Chains A and B, each alone.
Chain A
Amino acid sequence: MQRHIISVSSITYAIKGRDFLRKHGYKAHIEKKTDINGNVGCGYVIVSFGNREKIVSALSVANIKILEIKSFA
Chain B
Amino acid sequence: MIYFDNAATTGHKPITVVNAYNYDLKNISANPGRSGHYLSQRAANIVYKAREKISDFFDSDGPETVVFTANCTTSINYVLKGVLSKGDHIIISDLEHNAVIRPVKSINVDYTIATVSLNDDSETLRNFENSIKSNTKMIFCTAASNVIGKILPLKKIGELCKKHNILFGVDAAQGAGIIPIKMNEMNIDFLCVAPHKGLYCPMGFGVLIARKPINKTIIEGGTGTNSLELFQPTTMPERFESGTVNLPAISTINAGIEFVKSNANIMFKKENSLAKHLYNCLKNEDYIFYSNPNNNGYVPVISFNHLDTQSDIVAQFLNDKGFAVRAGLHCAPLAHKKIGTVLQGTVRFSPSIFNNIGEVDMFIYTLKKFKKH
| A32 contacts B226, C-beta separation under 8 Å | no
Q: Which residues of chain A are within 8 angstroms of B45 by Cβ–Cβ distance?
A: 15
Q: Which residues of chain B are within 8 angstroms of A40 by Cβ–Cβ distance?
A: 226-229
Q: CB of A49 within 8 A of chain B? A: no
Q: CB of B44 within 8 A of chain A? A: yes
- Contact flags A55-68 to B (C-beta < 8 A → 1, else 0): 00000000100000
Q: Which residues of chain A are within 8 angstroms of B225 by Cβ–Cβ distance?
A: 9-11, 41-44
Q: Which residues of chain A are within 8 angstroms of B235 by Cβ–Cβ distance?
A: 9-10, 12-13
Q: Closest CB-CB distance, A68 to chain B, in whole Å?
A: 13
| A42 contacts B226, C-beta separation under 8 Å | yes
Q: Which residues of chain A are within 8 angstroms of B44 by Cβ–Cβ distance?
A: 11, 15
Chain B interface main SS type: loop
How many chain B residues touch A (Cβ–Cβ < 8 Å)?
24
- Contact flags A3-40 to B (C-beta < 8 A → 1, else 0): 00000011111011000000000000011100000011
Chain B residue with the shortest CB-CB distance to A31: B36
| A11 contacts B226, C-beta separation under 8 Å | no
- Bound CA–CA A15/B40 (angstroms): 13
| A12 contacts B51, C-beta separation under 8 Å | yes
Q: CB of B268 within 8 A of chain A? A: no
| B64 contacts A16, C-beta separation under 8 Å | yes
Q: Closest CB-CB distance, B139 to chain A, in whole Å?
A: 28
| B48 contacts A16, C-beta separation under 8 Å | yes
Q: Closest CB-CB distance, B233 to chain A, in whole Å?
A: 7
| A10 contacts B48, C-beta separation under 8 Å | no
Given known A30-B41, A31-B36, contact A12–B228 (CB-CB < 8 A): no
- Contact flags B44-86 to A (C-beta < 8 A → 1, else 0): 1100100100000000001110000000000000000000000
| B36 contacts A32, C-beta separation under 8 Å | yes
Q: Closest CB-CB distance, B217 to chain A, in whole Å?
A: 15
Q: Which of B221-235 contact A (CB under 8 A)?
A: 223-229, 233, 235
Q: Which residues of chain B are within 8 angstroms of A13 by Cβ–Cβ distance?
A: 64, 235
Q: Which residues of chain B are within 8 angstroms of A10 by Cβ–Cβ distance?
A: 33, 223-225, 233, 235, 237-238
- Bound CA–CA A19/B63 (angstroms): 12
Q: Which residues of chain B are within 8 angstroms of A12 by Cβ–Cβ distance?
A: 33, 48, 51, 63-64, 235-238
Q: Which residues of chain B are within 8 angstroms of A15 by Cβ–Cβ distance?
A: 44-45, 48
Given known A12-B237, A15-B45, contact A41–B227 (CB-CB < 8 A): yes
| A39 contacts B63, C-beta separation under 8 Å | no
Q: Which residues of chain A are within 8 angstroms of B35 by Cβ–Cβ distance?
A: 32
Chain A residue with the shortest CB-CB distance to B43: A11
Q: CB of B32 within 8 A of chain A? A: yes
- Bound CA–CA A67/B227 (angstroms): 15
Q: Which residues of chain B are within 8 angstroms of A43 by Cβ–Cβ distance?
A: 225-226
| A9 contacts B48, C-beta separation under 8 Å | no
Chain A residue with the shortest CB-CB distance to B40: A32
Chain A residue with the shortest CB-CB distance to B49: A15
Q: Which residues of chain B are within 8 angstroms of A16 by Cβ–Cβ distance?
A: 48, 62-64
Which of B41, B45, B227 counts the most A-chain CB atoms under 10 A from its CB? B41
Q: Which residues of chain A are within 8 angstroms of B41 by Cβ–Cβ distance?
A: 30
- Bound CA–CA A58/B251 (angstroms): 29
Q: Which residues of chain A are within 8 angstroms of B237 by Cβ–Cβ distance?
A: 10, 12
Given contacts A12-B63, A31-B36, A43-B225, 14 further A-B contacts (CB under 8 A): A9-B225, A9-B233, A10-B223, A10-B225, A10-B233, A12-B51, A12-B235, A12-B236, A12-B237, A16-B63, A30-B41, A40-B228, A40-B229, A44-B36
Measured CB to CB, the residues of A under 8 A from B are: 9-13, 15-16, 30-32, 39-44, 63
In the complex, the 3 A-B pairs of residues with the closest C-beta atoms, listed nearest first: A32-B36, A41-B227, A41-B228
* Interface CB pairs A-B, < 8 A, 15: A9-B235, A10-B33, A10-B223, A10-B225, A11-B33, A11-B48, A12-B33, A12-B51, A16-B63, A32-B35, A32-B36, A40-B226, A42-B224, A43-B226, A44-B33
